[in-house]
């Protein structure tokens, strides 16, 4: 027989605030429990309390993990580019490597990005920080305008995934100015096989889709000129929100909870037999 500490009286030995763990119990020592399994009862009371706390946390979480969300307008920065997970830039006609916008342009409520020597202020990506519509862009929205030649043709807002996840992508390319422009959504710079493509458009085009991504994967929102290269009056408001799918808690959590409940039930039956 071996135990951690010996008490002199029955009340001391089994008071809940002075609980001791027995490593071996003879029939004589077991009689100290008064035939009621005091040690076992106290242990399972603590176990039940722990289970209650764990289940409470699970149900408060709603059985799911929190979702992440990114919005091209809300996340816009007029001072930082790249602005993770967003990057603002331009590409040549037909797609290719993304070139960063490196110059800022501010005019009243217009705060945006362009190239060193823009022609007619293009290509550009900017935000209307006011509340009134400017150049067909509602207050609070961002806009893309394609470039003046084949080397600057495509204006791009790129989202680079920071997670491994399935995301929902939702938004629209607005009608904008009077010029008919072309809109593209491209995954991982594969311009030859875009997820969406509308060419020579003058109307608003909504979109919504689900995409599985890994860290470093990209989704590009692109505005280009007409197919004949005409780019004037091409200001196009865009809306884009990327949200990670809400992921249920792993099955192991529920399995653990079931196991704890089962253990508690077994302990309660044993305590009644003591």
pLDDT digits 0-9 by tens, 199-228:
999 999 999 999 999 999 999 999 999 999
Rounded to an integer, the average pLDDT of 196-200 is 98
Query: CATH 1.10.287: does it fit domain 69-244?
Result: no
In this prediction, residue 67 has a pLDDT band, given cuts at 50, 70 and 90, of: confident
Rounded to an integer, the average pLDDT of 188-206 is 97
Q: What is the pLDDT of residue 17?
A: 43
Domain ranges of the chain: 10-63+250-273, 69-244
Q: What is the pLDDT of residue 245?
A: 79
Minimum mean pLDDT range among 14-23, 138-147, 174-183, 249-258: 14-23
Map the chain to HEC letters. Answer: CCECCCCCCHHHHCCHHHCCCECCCCHHHHHHHCCCCHHHHHHHHHHHHHHHHHHHHHHHCCCECCCCEEECCCCCCCCCCCECCEEEEEECCCCCCCEECCEEEEECCEEEEECCCCECCECEEEEECCCCCECCECCCCEEEECCCCCCCCEEEEEEECCCCEEEEEEEEECCCCCCCEEEEEEECCCCCCCCEEEEEECCCEEEEEEEEECCCCEEEEEEECCCCCCCCCCCEEEEEEEEECCCECCHHHHHHHHHHHHHHHHHHHHHHHC
Rounded to an integer, the average pLDDT of 31-39 is 48
Q: What is the pLDDT of residue 233?
A: 97
Q: Is the pTM of the predicted complex or chain greater than 0.75? A: no
Rounded to an integer, the average pLDDT of 13-36 is 43
Mean pLDDT of the chain: 81
In this prediction, residue 4 has a pLDDT band, given cuts at 50, 70 and 90, of: very low
Rounded to an integer, the average pLDDT of 166-191 is 97
Better-predicted residue by pLDDT, 135 or 250: 135
Q: What is the pLDDT of residue 58?
A: 52
**pLDDT surpasses 70 at 253:** no
Rounded to an integer, the average pLDDT of 36-59 is 56
């Amino acid at each position: 027989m071996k135990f951690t500490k010996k008490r002199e009286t029955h009340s001391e030995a089994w008071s809940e605030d002075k609980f001791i763990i027995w490593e071996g119990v003879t029939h004589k020592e077991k009689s100290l429990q008064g035939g009621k399994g005091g040690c076992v009862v106290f242990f399972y009371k603590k176990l039940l309390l722990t289970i209650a706390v764990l289940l409470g946390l699970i149900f408060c979480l709603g059985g799911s993990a929190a979702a992440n969300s990114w919005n091209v307008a809300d996340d816009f920065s007029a001072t930082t580019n790249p602005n993770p997970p967003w990057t603002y830039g331009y590409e040549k006609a037909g797609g290719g490597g993304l070139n960063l916008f490196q110059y800022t342009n501010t005019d009243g409520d217009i705060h945006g990005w362009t190239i060193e020597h823009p022609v007619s202020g293009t290509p550009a990506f900017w935000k209307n920080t006011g509340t009134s519509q400017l150049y067909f862009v509602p207050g609070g929205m961002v806009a893309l305008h394609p470039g003046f030649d084949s080397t600057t043709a495509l204006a791009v807002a790129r989202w680079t995934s920071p997670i491994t996840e399935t995301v929902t992508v939702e938004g629209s390319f607005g009608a904008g100015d009077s010029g008919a422009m072309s809109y593209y959504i491209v995954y991982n710079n594969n311009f030859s096989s875009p997820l969406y493509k509308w060419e020579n458009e003058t109307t608003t085009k909504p979109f919504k889709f689900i995409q599985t991504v890994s860290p470093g994967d990209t989704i590009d929102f692109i505005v280009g000129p007409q197919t004949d290269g005409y780019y004037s009056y091409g200001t196009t408001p865009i809306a884009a929100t990327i949200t990670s799918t809400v992921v249920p808690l792993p099955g192991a959590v529920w399995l653990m909870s079931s196991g704890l409940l089962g253990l508690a039930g077994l302990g309660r039956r044993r305590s009644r037999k003591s």
